[in-house]
């Protein structure tokens, strides 16, 4: 755990996947075809807390969703990339844009499309119910499943690492 806390101390940017990380990974569609997502309120509180502590937060998601756009706006997440097919390349572009190094970046994922992001990150995190192949790239795994408080755990880790 000491090695994880040492990595966490350097983090200036937290990058989150959505489906399976901020949500439980299930997709809900109404009869009219509207996509619905369920977000955990404690995850949102953690995101707000790390931003107040000086950690920037970004979303990189493979799907496009109006619900994600709205939730990100509610939480003050300014860097939202949706419909991304190459998450590693998207992360590289975001880091260049923000002037943040890979060692200063934490990425959270749940499945193999997230692995290129995690392999670039100074702190790679998998949620408890992540695919085993993704967990092979992780420095740390949450106790909570995606959409069930995993993001709050990550935020608490980053905050505790910053505490004097």
Neighbours of 119 (CB within 10 A): 13
State residue 9's pLDDT score.
96
Q: What is the mean pLDDT of each run of 10 residues along the chain (164 residues)?
A: 93 98 93 90 98 98 95 98 98 98 98 97 98 96 98 98 83
CA 64, CA 111: separation in Å to the nearest integer?
Answer: 17
Domain that includes residue 9, residue range: 2-162
State residue 164's pLDDT score.
72
Strands 123-126 and 28-29: unpaired
**E strand residue ranges, 26-101:** 28-29, 35-36, 56-60, 79-81
Give the chain's domain count. 1
The DSSP bridge partners found for residue 108 are 16, 125
10 Å CB burial of residue 4 (0-12, 13-18, 19+) is middle
Q: What three-state secondary structure class fits 76?
A: coil
State residue 134's pLDDT score.
96
State residue 163's pLDDT score.
78
* pLDDT digits 0-9 by tens, 17-50: 999 999 999 998 889 888 889 999 999 999 999 9
CA 70, CA 30: separation in Å to the nearest integer?
Answer: 18
State residue 34's pLDDT score.
86
State residue 68's pLDDT score.
96
CATH of the domain at 37: 3.40.50.1000
């Amino acid at each position: 755990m000491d090695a994880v806390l040492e990595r966490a101390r350097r983090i200036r940017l937290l990058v989150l996947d959505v489906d399976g990380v901020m949500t439980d990974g299930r997709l809900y569609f109404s009869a009219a075809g509207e996509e619905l997502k369920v977000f955990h309120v404690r995850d949102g509180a953690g995101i707000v807390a790390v931003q107040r502590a000086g950690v920037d937060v970004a979303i990189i998601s493979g799907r496009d969703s109006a619900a994600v756009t709205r939730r990100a706006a509610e939480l003050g997440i300014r860097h939202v990339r949706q419909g991304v097919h190459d998450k590693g390349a998207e992360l590289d572009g975001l880091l260049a844009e923000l002037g943040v190094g890979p060692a200063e970046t934490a990425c959270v994922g749940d499945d193999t499309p997230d692995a290129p992001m995690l392999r670039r990150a100074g702190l790679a995190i998998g949620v408890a119910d992540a695919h085993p192949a993704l967990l092979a790239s992780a420095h740390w795994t949450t106790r909570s499943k995606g959409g069930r408080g995993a993001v709050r755990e990550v935020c608490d880790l980053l905050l505790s690492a910053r505490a004097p």
